[in-house]
């Protein structure tokens, strides 16, 4: 009934500018209280275009999506493949939480690509995979490698619209590298003084790129972003995880 009279309405043409809010999503709260992050239209579009490279080499990919819409991974699982004209299967909770059923679904439906969490992937090492490429990450990756399936370790956060750096896993590691940033991003390791550290020293990873972001009802968090554009937070730097420095 809600759409019964839809033909009586004139089409509405929305023409948002690049800075218009396009997505608000909350962080997991793993580093404290969850924060509402508002991404601009340009930020999401840039992330989608940036991450399309993750599907290179696979013609007409068939993908499986299991992430909740409240998790930033849905951008990579849904928006990126759809922008390529790929088919996306949305998995039920029953299937995505059961390793044998998940592997069977991949095989039956000839799925090429999917995100699989680190913990679930460790439980599926004995399964017969038909996947061509697996994306994993969001936590340290160790002891994971498959000979016949590519596994890409993804590092990023909600502010960077998931993937900021990527690494193709070529063997089992005790602590798998996070790789290098995408071509349109920059990454540097900073010390407590906010300056780059020397080789071999420990610090925080700072990612710089086109991120049109603000924090919902949390203006006091804005100093955590090193603003380099006086009009917006596009081309901002983010600390992963953000320390208390300007």
- The stretch 17-25 carries a mean pLDDT of 87
Classify burial at 178, counting beta carbons within 10 Å of its beta carbon; exposed 0-12, middle 13-18, buried 19 or more: buried
Name the nearest CA neighbour of 86 among 45, 55, 115, 107. 55
229 confidence band (pLDDT: 50, 70, 90): very low
Contact present, 167 and 176 (Cβ < 8 Å): yes
pLDDT at 109 over 80: yes
In this predicted model, what pLDDT tens digit does every residue of 70-82 receive, in sequence order?
899 999 999 999 9
Q: Compute the distance between CA of residue 148 and CA of residue 133 in angstroms, rounded to an integer.
A: 9
- The stretch 187-210 carries a mean pLDDT of 84
% of the chain at pLDDT higher than 90? 47
Question: What pLDDT does 246 receive?
Answer: 28
Question: What pLDDT does 222 receive?
Answer: 52
- Structure letter (DSSP) for residue 127: S
205 confidence band (pLDDT: 50, 70, 90): confident
245 confidence band (pLDDT: 50, 70, 90): very low
- Give 142-208 as a DSSP string: -S---SSSEEEEEEEEGGGTEEEEEEE--S--SS----EE-TT-EEEEE-TTSSBPPTT---EEEEE
Question: What pLDDT does 135 receive?
Answer: 97
More confident residue, 242 or 19: 19
pLDDT at 32 over 80: no
Question: What pLDDT does 228 receive?
Answer: 38
More confident residue, 138 or 72: 72
Q: Compute the distance between CA of residue 235 and CA of residue 229 in angstroms, rounded to an integer.
A: 7
Contact present, 50 and 182 (Cβ < 8 Å): yes
Neighbours of 30 (CB within 10 A): 10
- The stretch 74-103 carries a mean pLDDT of 95
- The stretch 127-137 carries a mean pLDDT of 87
- The stretch 223-237 carries a mean pLDDT of 38
SS (H, E, C) 64-88: EECCCCCCCCHHHHHHHHHHCCCEE
């Amino acid at each position: 009934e809600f759409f019964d009279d839809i033909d009586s309405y004139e089409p509405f043409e929305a023409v948002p500018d690049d800075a218009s809010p396009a997505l608000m999503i909350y962080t997991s709260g793993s580093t404290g209280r969850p924060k509402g992050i508002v991404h601009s239209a340009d930020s999401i579009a840039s992330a989608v275009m940036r991450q399309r490279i993750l599907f290179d080499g696979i013609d007409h990919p068939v993908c499986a999506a299991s992430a909740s819409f409240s998790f930033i991974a849905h951008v990579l699982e849904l928006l990126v493949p759809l922008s390529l004209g790929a088919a996306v299967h949305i998995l039920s909770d029953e299937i995505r939480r059961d390793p044998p059923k998940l592997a069977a679904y991949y095989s039956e439906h000839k799925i090429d690509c999917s995100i699989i969490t680190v913990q679930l992937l460790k439980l599926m090492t004995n399964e017969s995979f038909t996947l061509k490429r697996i994306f994993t990450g969001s936590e340290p990756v160790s002891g994971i490698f498959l000979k016949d399936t590519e596994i890409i370790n993804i590092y990023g956060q909600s502010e960077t619209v998931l993937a900021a750096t990527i690494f193709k896993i070529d063997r089992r590691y005790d602590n798998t590298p996070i790789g290098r940033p995408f071509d349109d991003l920059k990454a540097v390791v900073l010390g407590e003084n906010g300056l780059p550290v020397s080789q071999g020293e420990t610090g925080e990873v700072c990612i710089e790129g086109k991120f049109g972001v603000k924090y919902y009802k949390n203006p006091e968090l804005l100093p955590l972003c090193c603003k380099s554009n006086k009009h917006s937070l596009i081309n901002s730097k983010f600390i992963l995880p953000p320390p208390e420095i300007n």
